[in-house]
Amino acid sequence: MSEPLRTRAAALDAADPLAKRRELFALDDGVVYLDGNSLGALPRHVPGRMADVITREWGELRIRSWDESGWWTAPERIGDRVAPLVGAAPGQVVVGDSTSVNVFKALVGAVRLVDDESRDEIVVDATTFPTDGYIAESAARLTGRRLVPVAPGEVAEAVGPRTAAALVNHVDYRTGRLHDLPGITAAVRAAGALAVWDLCHSAGALPVGLDAHGVDLAVGCTYKYLNGGPGSPAYLYVAARHQPRFDSPLPGWNSHADPFAMTPGYAAADGALRGRVGTPDILSMLALEAALDVWDGVAIEEVRAKSLALTDFFLECVRAYVPDGRLTSLTPAAHEERGSQVALACADAPAVMKVLIERGIVGDLRRPDVLRFGFTPLYVGFADTERAARVLAEVCAEADTGARSPR
């Protein structure tokens, strides 16, 4: 049964215009890495760049590197490298802090931009990643608003004259469902509110179109599909039309119009720099900058096409190899509703994933019963995909046999 699918996988890899990108990453032979939706693989050239940062820029130039090596301008310079990957023009993205901190800045900033006490509600994606929900609840308390959790598909109907802002995840972290960013944004803005998007599971995997779709504010991490490294800094997008009035709830010295004046009163810098807070985390920042080199010459549309082909092929292989009813896909079949991961419901998910990893198929899980497989088109191939499904079927069969064996 497997030979036709293996043959097709080889043909698909041979025709893949992104196949050579795999060589840019440090990957182990014999391991299929399908957890890039949690931590992207290391680009091979990053260690060399970081050795130079540490030994020369820090070790020799020391304080001079803030100017001579461009450390001071890194947050906005790297933001402009991220911008094309999320469909933003230059000058609207600043890199720094964590996703959680940026969600707080964006959501409180959105309520302040609306500046209307009658808009006393913040709508939040009820299926959101937990941190976003925690931050949204805190932002609601801080701004005197009421938090209204709704399913993403119901946001358009839920927003109205009382809505100040809506916070929605572009791709659901559990299921890989892609939500309707253009439609939801249009509905939120038509209601007179502001749309804030979390792009953690979409940036670097599919076109986002922040400018084209009129998004107000957005945040995202860089350690998943952007391969920036563990804990690499996140980013904040503030649409140019909002920047003159964007009032960050965390006005640190780095976002001051004249940071080295050290005046007691705060005066905000112009543009995206208003999203900065404290001293940038330079080592992680510059590792991210180097990692973004793998995107040079890559069109995000090409990445999206391969992502859909990979996830289609994986689901086809799972259907072919795994008995009906053993696993259930939670990821939508429709391309317009799918991110770049496949989530499979599996009653014994923790045990199955443990054995998969031992056999070189690295995915992850969400307790109690979801297997997650992330497909990063820059380094995952079709032969990887077929092998992952085949080993998954073997592990499931062994688990079922073991469950039926007499003790």
- DSSP-assigned beta bridge partners for residue 203: none
Number of Cβ within a 10 Å radius of residue 273: 20
Q: Tokens representing 231? A: 């804990």
252 is a domain residue: yes
Structural domain including 156 reads: 48-295
pTM for the model: 0.96
pLDDT in tens, the chain (407 residues): 678 999 999 999 999 999 999 999 999 999 999 999 999 999 999 999 999 999 999 999 999 999 999 999 999 999 999 999 999 999 999 999 999 999 999 999 999 999 999 999 999 999 999 999 999 999 999 999 999 999 999 999 999 999 999 999 999 999 999 999 999 999 999 999 999 999 999 999 999 999 999 999 999 999 999 999 999 999 999 999 999 999 999 999 999 999 999 999 999 999 999 999 999 999 999 999 999 999 999 999 999 999 999 999 999 999 999 999 999 999 999 999 999 999 999 999 999 999 999 999 999 999 999 999 999 999 999 999 999 999 999 999 999 887 544 33
Q: Which string of DSSP letters, residue by residue, matches 305-360?
A: HHHHHHHHHHHHHHHHHSPTTS-EE-S-SSGGGB-SEEEEE-TTHHHHHHHHHHTT
Query: b vs e for 55-85, b when ≥16 Cβ sit within 10 Å of the residue's Cβ?
Result: eebbeeeeeebbeebebbebbbebbbbbbeb
Give Dmax over CA atoms of the chain in angstroms.
77
Dump pLDDT digits (tens) for 204-254. Answer: 999 999 999 999 999 999 999 999 999 999 999 999 999 999 999 999 999
Looking at the fold, whether 185 and 204 belong to one and the same domain comes out as yes
Q: Which amino acid is at 121?
A: E
Cβ-contact 156, 187 below 8 angstroms:
yes
Looking at the fold, whether 282 and 377 belong to one and the same domain comes out as no
For residue 195, the surrounding DSSP H or E stretch is strand 194-198
42 is a domain residue: no
Cβ-contact 49, 285 below 8 angstroms:
no
Supply the DSSP symbol for 261: G
Dump pLDDT digits (tens) for 70-96. Answer: 999 999 999 999 999 999 999 999 999
Q: Which string of DSSP letters, residue by residue, matches 28-71?
A: -TT-EE-BTTTSPPPBTTHHHHHHHIIIIIIIIIGGGHHHHT--
Domain C-terminal end among 236, 261, 295 = 295
Supply the DSSP symbol for 95: E
Q: From the CA atom positions of the chain, what is the Rg in Å?
A: 22
Catalytic residues: 129, 198, 223-224, 372
Burial of residue 51 (number of CB atoms within 10 Å: 0-12, 13-18, 19+): exposed
Domain C-terminal end among 295, 326, 359 = 295
Q: Closest Cα partner for 70 from 285, 271, 318?
A: 285
93 is a domain residue: yes
The total domain count for the chain is 2
Side-chain half-sphere CA neighbours of 110 within 13 A: 36
Burial of residue 15 (number of CB atoms within 10 Å: 0-12, 13-18, 19+): exposed
Give rounded-to-5 percent helix, strand, coil for the chain.
45, 15, 40
User: Tell me, what CATH number does 400's domain have?
Assistant: 3.90.1150.10
Looking at the fold, whether 69 and 21 belong to one and the same domain comes out as no
Domain C-terminal end among 249, 278, 295 = 295
Predicted pLDDT of residue 1: 61
Looking at the fold, whether 207 and 63 belong to one and the same domain comes out as yes
CA distances from 328 to 258, 336, 342, 343, 362 (A): 56, 20, 10, 8, 19
